[in-house]
A = this chain, B = another copy of it.
Amino acid sequence: MRSCYEVDNLSTQRDGDEIVSTGGAREVNLLIPGPTPLPPDVRAAMAGPMVNHRGEEFGQVLAEVLRGLQQIFQTTAPVVPFAASGTGGLEAAIVNVLSPGDRVLAPSCGMFGDRFGAIAKAFGADVISQQAPWGTAVDPAAVAEALSRHRGVAAVLLTHNETSTGVANPVQAIAEVVRPTGALLLVDAVSSLAALDLRTDAWGVDVVVSGSQKALMAPPGAVFLAVSARAQEAARSARMPKAYFSFERALAELAPQVAFTPFTPAIPVISALQVSVRMILREGLPSRFAHHHRLAQATRRGIMALGLELFCDPSCASDTVTAVRLPQRIDGKALLRRLRQDHGVALAGGQGKLEGVIFRIGHMGYVQESQILSALEALEHVLAQLGHPVKRGAAVEAAAAGLRAR
């Protein structure tokens, strides 16, 4: 139960020639919307010796990881790896399939949706921004309306899981209104892949971007893009400048049994993914999705039992992260600091215009039920200290009942 926690050993200080850890054996309960806790076997894989990234052995490992990811992306399209974090993957998706001046629709309901559009704009796309209120989902009907009003949209940029607000967008319904128009659909699934169902091929998504450090249960540093045949076709004539993030160069090095990368890959992250992707496929995607749903339900019940308000409507709340409205008169920074310092619980604050308005509990990847229960207990304790009335024991009881009900 404890092995998934973060050991609090980073407050190191120099003492002569020694590296001294001041944290001892205390562990941190890491519940942020990524990076996420690592399974022990994944951590062990990270400590392996360095290898030749152009050697047969590594080529087989990368090929295995990419084949596994195809199953997780639910696609037969190639999965292209880059050494980068999620935002680098979003840039790769854009610059490979678009040309400067291309019209792009960027529906957004949060910070990551805004970022996707901003990247396209930085590379010269004619971006039509479409804002849904933060805390709600992108409305497929609004997307359809925008696509009928603005002719010649080359691509729609969509965030599957808006971690800044805790909202999951309805990819399938949006794909259904995008496909008849001929526009490409590019989906940011950085924090949703392996947590929320995403049927790349069946729903007709053209590029899906995901990152290593969320529900894939590996450390940050690698990003992966499923690239459909239509997207590959678009890439052949796309004129946005690119070098590091070139699909063409990356695709040329891939093969089913032995895969390489044009530039040095994030070797330890690939080694970590060899372990975590096997874990995910052994358990099966439906079980992984159910796990995330169970943790999310338990978290929401616990939060409501504390008398706190969920930031999103339940109809669009993501199973990967729960956004909670800060009660009036509660200082969010003090709340998070006490949770971290006194209870070893790491939660996340609000981002951008939601700073000081919400806090967020991540429950993606390797997060365990025990982590949710102990975080709710600590939250109850700190809220009481800060003067917010709580009914003692109610949060853990409500969450545990939810977990038992399954």
A-to-B contact residues, CB < 8 Å: 5-12, 14, 17, 19, 27-28, 30, 32, 34-38, 43-44, 46-55, 57-58, 60-61, 83-88, 91, 118-119, 122-124, 211, 213, 219-222, 240-244, 262-269, 271, 274-275, 278, 282, 340, 346, 348
- CB pair B266–A220 under 8 Å, yes or no, is yes
Q: Which of B7, B44, B60, B262 contacts A49 (CB 8 A)?
A: B7
- In the assembled complex, 13 residue pairs joining A and B whose CB atoms fall closer than 8 Å, in A order, are A7-B48, A8-B57, A10-B271, A28-B51, A32-B54, A44-B47, A52-B348, A53-B220, A85-B265, A119-B243, A122-B241, A220-B265, A220-B266
Q: Looking across the interface, which residue of chain B has its beta carbon closest to that of A123?
A: B241
For the complex, give the distance between the alpha carbons of A34 and B263 in Å.
12
- CB pair B19–A52 under 8 Å, yes or no, is no
Contacts of A213 in B (CB 8 A): 50, 264, 267
Q: A85-B263, A119-B244, A211-B264 are in contact. List 15 more A-B contacts (CB 8 A).
A: A6-B49, A8-B57, A10-B61, A11-B57, A27-B49, A35-B264, A37-B50, A38-B49, A46-B46, A46-B268, A87-B262, A87-B263, A119-B243, A220-B265, A220-B266
Do A268 and B49 contact each other (CB < 8 Å), given the known contacts A19-B278, A88-B83, A243-B87?
Answer: no
Contacts of A91 in B (CB 8 A): 243-244
For the complex, give the distance between the alpha carbons of A2 and B93 in Å.
43
Q: Which of B6, B47, B119, B124 contacts A46 (CB 8 A)?
A: B47
Contacts of A37 in B (CB 8 A): 49-50
For the complex, give the distance between the alpha carbons of A278 and B13 in Å.
12
For the complex, give the distance between the alpha carbons of A47 and B38 in Å.
10
- CB pair B240–A241 under 8 Å, yes or no, is yes
Q: Looking across the interface, which residue of chain B has its beta carbon closest to that of A47?
A: B47
Contacts of A220 in B (CB 8 A): 53, 83, 264-267
- CB pair B43–A48 under 8 Å, yes or no, is yes
Contacts of A36 in B (CB 8 A): 50
**A84 → chain B, closest Cβ, in Å?**
5
For the complex, give the distance between the alpha carbons of A391 and B236 in Å.
55
**A285 → chain B, closest Cβ, in Å?**
17
**A129 → chain B, closest Cβ, in Å?**
16
Q: Looking across the interface, which residue of chain B has its beta carbon closest to that of A7?
A: B49
Do A43 and B35 contact each other (CB < 8 Å), given the known contacts A11-B60, A220-B265?
Answer: no
- CB pair A52–B38 under 8 Å, yes or no, is no
Do A124 and B88 contact each other (CB < 8 Å), given the known contacts A49-B5, A50-B38?
Answer: no
Q: Looking across the interface, which residue of chain B has its beta carbon closest to that of A85?
A: B264
For the complex, give the distance between the alpha carbons of A136 and B87 in Å.
39
Q: Looking across the interface, which residue of chain B has its beta carbon closest to that of A61?
A: B10
- CB pair A51–B30 under 8 Å, yes or no, is yes
Q: Which of B46, B52, B274, B348 contacts A30 (CB 8 A)?
A: B52
- CB pair A263–B47 under 8 Å, yes or no, is no
Contacts of A263 in B (CB 8 A): 85-88
Q: Which of B34, B54, B119, B346 contacts A264 (CB 8 A)?
A: B34
Contacts of A52 in B (CB 8 A): 30, 32, 35, 346, 348
**A317 → chain B, closest Cβ, in Å?**
23
**A268 → chain B, closest Cβ, in Å?**
5
- CB pair A219–B84 under 8 Å, yes or no, is no
Q: Looking across the interface, which residue of chain B has its beta carbon closest to that of A32?
A: B52
Q: Looking across the interface, which residue of chain B has its beta carbon closest to that of A271?
A: B10
